[in-house]
Amino acid sequence: MREGPSVSSVHGDETTGELIARLSTQTSELLRGEIRLAQAEISQKVKYAGFGAGAFGAAGVLALYGGGALVATVIIALALVLPAWLAALVVTLALFLLAGLLAVVGRSQVKHAGPPVPERAVEGLKTDVRTVKEAREHGHA
C-alpha cells in the first residue's frame, strides 16, 4: 500500500516543530491583520456616523430657526389686517394652545402605555415559582 507524500517531502526538510512554529507565526500575523482591518473599518464607520450625527444636529437647529421665521411671517401677515401687537398675541396664543393640546395627547399616550414593567413575564415567573413551591411541598409531605 502506498501512502501519500510525507510532510518533509512537501515542505522540504522542515521538522514538525518548525512547521508548528511557522503555523503559529502565520496565524498570529493573520490575526493581527484581521484586527487592523476591523479597526480601520470601525474607524471609518465611526467617522461617517459622527458626521451624520453632526448633520442631523445642524438640520435640527436650522429647522428651529425656520420655525421661528415662519412664526414671524404669520405675525407680519396678520399685522396687515390687525395691529401688530394683536397679531403677535394671536399667534402666541395659538402656539400655546397647540402646545397644550400636544401635551394632553402625549400625557394620554404615556398613561395608556402603563408602567415599563413586563407584566406578563412577571406573572409567568410568579406562576413558575408557585408551581415549584407546590411541587416541593407535595414532594416532602
| Confidence bin at 1 (pLDDT 50/70/90) | very low
Q: Are residues 31 and 46 in the same domain?
A: yes
pLDDT value, residue 91: 97
Domain containing residue 74: 12-78
133 occurs within a structural domain: yes
Which tens digit of pLDDT belongs to each residue from 71-124? 999 999 999 999 999 999 999 999 999 999 999 999 999 888 877 777 788 888
Tens digits of residue pLDDT in 28-53? 888 888 888 888 888 888 998 999 99
- For residue 7, tell me if it sits in a domain: no
What's the Cα-to-Cα distance from 101 to each of 97, 98, 107, rounded to whole Å?
6, 5, 10
Task: Report the C-alpha gap between 132 and 3 in whole angstroms.
Answer: 62
pLDDT on residue 140 = 59
Query: What is the rounded distance in angstroms from the CA atom of residue 48 to the CA atom of residue 31?
Result: 26
Q: Which residue has the cell 502506498?
A: 2
